[in-house]
Chains A and B, each alone.
Chain A
Amino acid sequence: MSRSGLIISAAFCALALLAPWLAPYHPKADTDVPLAAPSARHLLGTDDVGRDILSQVISGSRISILVGLIAGLAAAALGLLVGLLAGYLGGAVDRILMRTVDVFLAMPRLPLLILLAAYLGAGIWVVVICFVLVSWAMPARVVRAQVRVEKQRPYVTSARLSGARSIYVLRKHIVPALSPLALAIVIMEISHAIMIEAGMSFLGLGDPTATSWGTILHHAFSYPALFLSDAWIWWALPPGVCLSLLLLGLALLAMEVERKVDPRIEGGRLGG
């Protein structure tokens, strides 16, 4: 039970890596009659242009996870860097960076995303850039607070008085002390990025030529008669279930990581 997050996340990563070998058909190949019900040839049936849905869901994991990883890591890295600089340097740098963070935190996320994507055009890199723009501010603030705590530690003063440069203090004392927090932030950002990518693709703001869970949902919901038959069960449900499962796995993984690195949370019981 304690490893379920790791197992779910690893399983989806394996699915994404092995997609070309696991998928029975090419995700864009016109394989059969449109809207075929599940059968031995098409375990999840086909969509309105006759593409195999199972193959689409398997291949779709690649874009979802790849964009999630790139965008999540980039947003977390930018947030960590800004938080580290603002927290450690303080003074004018801190004020300028934190006011910028405030501006980005105050902006409504989804309308901004839609606006940005509409201006920049659809595409995977647009999704990445949009996500980084709306998601770097929160981790920056969290990290800054933690850096300010670490900076006050007596051993940091000691290191400085024994002649250590700032960069040495950061590398030796502050960054290692931040690593559990950083790991949790990275996982959280990746899971947000996967959700945002799916959301943008669902709204038709992702790359229309790429197959991701979001674009499968987009196509399914664009089909006017989706709910007039049982087709939604094998067309719209599987990508949604995959998405939910992966996000659940990442959330569990973040909790497991937290439990591993924070000695105060022992056996699910929060101690003082």
Chain B
Amino acid sequence: MAAENARALLDLSSLEVTYGPDQAPVVQDLCLRIERGQAVGILGESGAGKSTIALAILDLLPRAARRKGRIHFDGLDLLGRAESIRAIRFRRISLVLQDCMNAFNPVIRIGEQIAELWVCHERTRWKEALRRAGALLERFGLSAELTGSYPHELSGGMRQRVALAMAVALSPELVIVDEPTSALDVVTANAVVELLGAVRRESGASLLVISHDVSVLARCCDRIAVMGEGRILEEGPAARVLRQPEHAATRSLIAAVPRLAAFREKP
């Protein structure tokens, strides 16, 4: 690649994560680069260590967990200077958690939970922040009036949209999305995948999408890394990985998708 020697936005090398002193590593010898503006997908079955990578990047692992190797973000060593991670979280790297639709405080209105981001990070006034929260929701195809609602008044798909909207609220350079569609019906999942494309176009942020669903990654990623048992099994441009999978695990994940025809080599 041309940008091989240029600084990558996110550069993971020889990353190893263990969840306790005597435990086998959940992630080992993992290398992954994400360039600016790129969308990279991590594909793998449950338990492959996909979500652990996301948590490791943002230092959100349980206290007993240990990280080794190198996590460089835009030249910053995230493993070395743990105390500065708060300045990175959400401002420069945001993460949409796997169960993000349940990640709202049930007794605080949606608008306040969004506006809080600007109030706390940018010292915006509450009134202005609430107005911006409404505008942000409208950009994501939701009504601005939802700012006055409590989380339980929204459907799962709507909450997923709100979570995605919050992830780009502070214009981060990298948005990590963990299993964005796992709890959604097909139609809503479709809309969320389209939304991911919109997020990228609108904010210019790089995307790291984690999923076990090939069809999701196929539609929103430039490159795909396939994980199994804590390692990267193969990595390459999305089209190549999906059409000519080199690893047996990739083939079985692709075979698991009902609509196989979409990825078959056209005659």
Task: Please determine whether chains A and B interact with each other in the same assembly.
Answer: yes
Which residues of A approach B to under 8 Å, CB–CB? 90-91, 153-155, 157-158, 160-165, 168, 172-173, 176-177
Complex CA distance for A153 and B87, rounded to whole angstroms: 23
Interface flags for B81-124 (1: CB within 8 Å of A; 0: not) read: 00000110111001101011011111100000000110011000
Say whether B63 faces chain A, with CB atoms less than 8 Å apart. yes
Task: For A155, list chain B residues within 8 Å (CB).
Answer: 103-106
CB atoms of A154 and B89 under 8 A apart: no
CB atoms of A161 and B86 under 8 A apart: no
Min CB distance B165 to A, Å, is 13
- Given the interface pairs A162-B117, A163-B120, the reply to whether A157 lies near B60 with Cβ below 8 Å is yes
CB atoms of A163 and B103 under 8 A apart: no
Min CB distance A151 to B, Å, is 11
- Number of inter-chain CB pairs below 8 Å: 48
Say whether B136 faces chain A, with CB atoms less than 8 Å apart. no
Complex CA distance for A163 and B100, rounded to whole angstroms: 16
Say whether B208 faces chain A, with CB atoms less than 8 Å apart. no
CB atoms of A165 and B102 under 8 A apart: no
Task: For B89, list chain A residues within 8 Å (CB).
Answer: 160-163
CB atoms of B58 and A161 under 8 A apart: yes
Q: For chain B residues 52-98, which have a beta carbon within 8 Å of chain A? A: 58, 60, 63, 86-87, 89-91, 94-95, 97
Say whether B166 faces chain A, with CB atoms less than 8 Å apart. yes
CB atoms of A165 and B103 under 8 A apart: no
Min CB distance A162 to B, Å, is 4
CB atoms of B60 and A91 under 8 A apart: no
CB atoms of B97 and A163 under 8 A apart: no
Complex CA distance for A29 and B122, rounded to whole angstroms: 67
Chain B residues touching A, range: 20 to 34
Task: Please report whether the interface of chain A is mostly helix, strand, loop or mixed according to DSSP.
Answer: helix
Task: For B63, list chain A residues within 8 Å (CB).
Answer: 90-91
Task: For A176, list chain B residues within 8 Å (CB).
Answer: 107
Instruction: Look across to chain A and name the residue whose beta carbon is closest to the beta carbon of B163.
Output: A158
Min CB distance A268 to B, Å, is 24
- Given the interface pairs A162-B90, A163-B89, A163-B91, the reply to whether A154 lies near B99 with Cβ below 8 Å is yes
Task: For A168, list chain B residues within 8 Å (CB).
Answer: 120
Min CB distance B183 to A, Å, is 12
Nearest 6 Cβ contacts at the A-B interface: A154-B103, A158-B103, A163-B89, A162-B90, A155-B105, A163-B90
CB atoms of B97 and A158 under 8 A apart: yes
Task: For A177, list chain B residues within 8 Å (CB).
Answer: 107
Interface flags for B124-167 (1: CB within 8 Å of A; 0: not) read: 00000000000000000000000000000000000000000010
Task: For B87, list chain A residues within 8 Å (CB).
Answer: 163
Residue of B89, B102, B105, B107 with most chain A CB atoms under a 10 A cut-off: B105
Min CB distance A157 to B, Å, is 7
Q: A158-B97, A158-B103, A158-B104 are in contact. List 12 more A-B contacts (CB 8 A).
A: A90-B63, A154-B103, A155-B104, A155-B106, A157-B60, A161-B89, A161-B97, A162-B117, A162-B166, A168-B120, A173-B105, A176-B107
Min CB distance B117 to A, Å, is 6
Complex CA distance for A155 and B101, rounded to whole angstroms: 10
Complex CA distance for A155 and B110, rounded to whole angstroms: 12
Complex CA distance for A251 and B166, rounded to whole angstroms: 45
Task: For A160, list chain B residues within 8 Å (CB).
Answer: 60, 89
Instruction: Look across to chain B and name the residue whose beta carbon is closest to the beta carbon of A153.
Output: B105
Min CB distance A85 to B, Å, is 15
Task: For B166, list chain A residues within 8 Å (CB).
Answer: 162
Complex CA distance for A157 and B166, rounded to whole angstroms: 14
